[in-house]
Amino acid sequence: MGTNPYRLADRRQRLARGRLEGPLPRLARAAPLVGAVAAVWLSGGLYTTLLAGGPTAWAAGFTGLVARIGLVVGALLALTTYDALVRGPDRGVLDIHPLLPGPWLAARVEGLVRDRLPWLLVAAVFLVPVLPNTKAFGLGAIVLLGAWVAGLGAGLGVNLAAPGLATRPALAGLFDAIRGPNPRMQAALLYAPGVALALSGTATVAAAWGAGRLLLGDPVGALGLAAPFVVGALGVVLAVRSAPAMAGIGAVLGEIEAAWAQAEDPEDARAVYLEWSVRLAPAPLRLALRKELRHLWRSHRGWVTASWGLALLAGIAGWSSASDGIGRFAQVGATALAAFGYVGVRLGAGDPPWLDTFLPLRGRIPARALAVFSAMQVVVAVGTATLLVRQGSEAFGVFARLELLAVTLAAVAAWAGDALRARGGLVYLPAALLLWAIGGVA
Amino acid sequence: MIELQGVRKVYGRSVAVDRIDLTIGAGEMVGLIGHNGAGKSTVLKMLAGQLLPTEGTVRVGGIDVREDPAGARRKLGYVPEEPALYDYLTAREFLELVVAVRGGGDIEAALEMTGLGADADRLIREYSQGMRRKTALAAAVVSRPPVIVLDEALNGLDPPSAARVKAALRQLCDDGATVLLSTHILETVERVAGRVVMLAHGRVVADEQTADLGAEGLERMFLQRIAETAAG
């Protein structure tokens, strides 16, 4: 433990963070698991459709199921590995000091394994409907583990090796063909996440195919099942060999950032989530709407990211052809909108008391309602889109009802937050409950 | 020792640094001054290996930063304008990390130099902006690298701390270190640096010993060179 300074620093930071954060963030980390359980419950129809039929159809459905879950797991690992290695917060701190490649890589891998291992458990929850068939469950678990290993290994190997590969004369022609205006090393870094994604995805699909063949008694399937572990192992070997090159990565990234800084409009750099929608708003509201969207993103980003999770839940709820699917989607969608609408109160509660005196803005309440309504659209849109695929035109009725609910909730929240500040919740919450009952359940 | 030979840095059509030749020897403390956008930070980032020159050679402690970035970094202690630190470590723990990756150093001396001793066991997240800067300074000098580059590193320090840091930098120079100090505060340069280099539009427009600047001092030279550059 004491011989690796990066590991020691990681451990000290983890302990300090744990001491200061208290139990709430730890509980929040269980949210993906709770979400997975909810998603499995809400999407029961999906599993029965895929797993219907005789042994051959069952095996095909099973292959499709584990391939989809495995692809998500592998993709998450491959992409977040890039962030952790190349773009993480460590970069600014460590880039100005010498690098000890071996200890650095060991500490990063250990951190990645520790942080990402729970994702495997979350993914395994999606195999619960297969549990009665223990052999299939076991094979599915191996596929998911393989996808996890392949995502991690490919992410490590490709991202660390990319800049070094770009300097090889033998590959100069290839990089020149794909690099556009970027120097070769920059192009290599830009393309690396895509290559890692493709490798882990291909290996995962091979493993899912192998699991399906093994279910049908074909031993050749074992080769497919082993593919992601081979990719993962090769990735780790490549990473170990390439880690010293990370000493020069700061300059490559510095060049990329400098090029962006030259190309970027300063106002674009300040733009936030959904800010493009300002130009669609009525002219008198644009200034206030821009302010509300920036306030929403910068002060309440957790709510915005939560809205994406709610959209995922609504999408899963909508992905059902069961007869009660529409009602279930309406309930989930209305609950998500009612919960998210509270951010409208929070936006008003955070305004300083002197704001009206020193910065009077016309149309603040409608602009705030519009900002909240705009952020709600991801929930309505994702949910309705999946419902449209599974239930056809019946989705439009629910869509209209949810949009009406969203408008009303956003307006009530914006007014309550502005008039009553933090106490606006006392008005909003009962009103939202009433509107939820009318709009979502009735 | 710092050497820049024919260094040019181009971003698209914009020339940030235009064929700079500059040598700073061991034991020298040089102030780098210039208006906003003159190219100071680009020069410092090239020394730190965070940008590569489009043309020319940058050497730190005799090592080419392009050929051997890891080796050059070992020779350099760098304080960026906005230092990044680990918020959930104490200053002492952070310096222990730096000492470990640099292969040695004197943590107590670095804490003493920056006046951080009493707060060294508090988490960095609790620090003021000035204390964060002191931590970055301590990290840059803790292992006594032969070259120290400071980008606006004295900004935000209280007067006693600034005086202590200036004295310590002077001592490091006397011990043979090369110090390059970029700042907007001309008075600081005038007091601590033996030589001043002024950049304008990516070029060196003045390179003088501070002792030769006379009674009218650095401010007058600065304004005069800015006016000459704008006119010419």
pLDDT in tens, A190-201: 888 889 999 999
**Least reliable range by pLDDT among A58-62, A399-403, B89-93, B121-125:** A58-62
Give the type of residue at B28. Answer: E
**Within a 13 Å sphere around the CA of A24, how many CA atoms are in the beta-carbon half?**
2
Does A13 reach chain B within 8 Å, measured CB to CB?
A: yes
In this complex, which of A93, A100, A247 lies closest to B86 when CB atoms are compared?
A93
ipTM here:
0.89
pLDDT of residue A105: 92
pLDDT(A208) > 50: yes
Model confidence band, residue A228 (pLDDT cutoffs 50, 70, 90): very high
Is residue A246 over pLDDT 60? yes
The pLDDT of residue A328 is above 70: yes
pLDDT at B143: 94
Contact B192, B166 (CB under 8 A): yes
Look up tokens 């393989």; give the residue. A146
- The pLDDT, as a whole number, for residue A442 is 46
Cβ contact A13–B102 (<8 Å) = no
Which residue matches tokens 């060294």?
B120
Nearest residue of chain B to residue A253 (CA atoms): B50
pLDDT band at A49 (very low <50, low <70, confident <90, very high): low
Per-residue confidence of chain B (232 residues) as pLDDT tens digits? Answer: 899 999 999 887 788 899 999 999 999 999 998 888 888 989 999 999 888 899 999 999 999 998 888 889 999 999 998 899 999 999 999 999 999 999 999 999 999 988 888 899 999 999 988 899 999 999 999 999 999 999 988 877 888 888 888 888 888 899 899 999 998 888 888 888 889 999 988 899 888 888 777 656 777 777 777 777 777 6
The residue type of A92 is G
> What pLDDT, on a 0 to 100 scale, did the predictor assign at position A131?
83
Give the pLDDT band of residue A265 (cuts 50, 70, 90).
low
Answer whether B101 sits within 8 Å of A100, measured CB to CB. Answer: yes
| Contact predicate B9/A254, CB 8 Å | no
> Does B191 fall in a domain?
yes
Look up residue B99 and give its DSSP letter. H
Q: Spell out the residues 6+ positions from residue A295 whose beta carbon is closer than 8 angstroms to its own.
A: A347, A350
CB atoms within 10 A of CB A303: 20
Q: Which amino acid is at B35?
A: H
Q: 3-state secondary structure string, A155-182?
A: HHHHHHHHHHHCCCHHHHHHHHHHCCCC
pLDDT average, residue stretch A299-309: 86
Which positions in chain A touch B86 (Cβ < 8 Å)? 9, 13, 93
pLDDT at position A21 is 79
| A377 to A229, A258, A307, A438: CA distances (angstroms) | 41, 35, 9, 19
Q: Report residue A261 as tokens.
A: 């800084």
pLDDT band at A440 (very low <50, low <70, confident <90, very high): low
When divided into structural domains, chain B yields a total of 1
B98 touches chain A (CB under 8 A): yes
**B139 in a domain, yes or no?**
no
- Write the CA distances from B6 to B3, B52, B229, integer angstroms: 10, 13, 20
For B205, the enclosing helix (H) or strand (E) is strand B203-209
* Domain at B15, CATH number: 3.40.50.300
Q: What is the pLDDT of residues B76-107, one digit of tens each?
A: 999 998 899 999 999 999 999 999 999 999 99
pLDDT in tens, A72-104: 899 888 888 888 888 778 888 998 999 899 999
Measured distance CA(A63)–CA(A143) in Å, rounded: 10
Give the structural domain span for B69. Answer: 2-81+147-231
**Residues A338, A335: Cα–Cα separation, whole Å:** 5
Contact A95/B at CB under 8 A: yes
Integer Cα distance of B157 and B168 in angstroms: 14
CA–CA dist B130, B187 (Å, integer) = 19
Using the predicted structure, report yes or no on whether residue A50 has a pLDDT greater than 70. no
The residue-averaged pLDDT of A148-176 equals 88
Average pLDDT over every residue of A109-136: 89
Buried b (16+ CB within 10 A) or exposed e, A408-426: bbbbbbbbbbbebeeebbe
pLDDT level of residue A302 (50, 70, 90 thresholds): confident
Pick from A5, A16, A91: which is nearest to B97 by CB?
A5
State the smallest CA–CA distance between residue B50 and chain A in angstroms.
4
Measured between CA atoms, how close is A254 to chain B, in angstroms? 6
Chain-centre distance of CA A81, in angstroms? 14
Beta bridge partners of B179: B29, B148
Structure tokens at A181: 């205006």
**B208 three-state secondary structure:** strand
Q: Is A369 exposed, middle or buried (0-12, 13-18, 19+ CB in 10 A)?
A: buried
The span from the CA of A44 to the CA of A180, in Å, is: 47
Give, in degrees to the nearest 5, the angle at Cα B71 between B69 and B75: 110
Provide the b/e sequence for A197-209 (b: ≥16 CB within 10 Å): bebbbbbbbbbbb
Mean pLDDT in chain A? 86
* CA distances from residue B96 to A152, A164, B105 in whole angstroms, order as listed: 30, 31, 9
Work out the number of other CB atoms within 10 angstroms of the CB of residue B168: 18
Q: Please give the pLDDT value at position B28.
A: 93
Q: Hey, are the CB atoms on A254 and B51 less than 8 Å from each other?
A: yes
pLDDT of A44 strictly over 80: no
Q: State how far residue B137 is from chain A, nearest Cα, in angstroms.
A: 12
Chain B CB contacts of A254 under 8 Å are 45, 50-52
Number of CB atoms found within 10 A of residue A348's CB: 23
Q: Please judge whether A13 and B11 are an interchain contact, meaning their C-beta atoms are less than 8 angstroms apart.
A: no
- Tell me the pLDDT band of A244, cut-offs 50, 70 and 90: confident
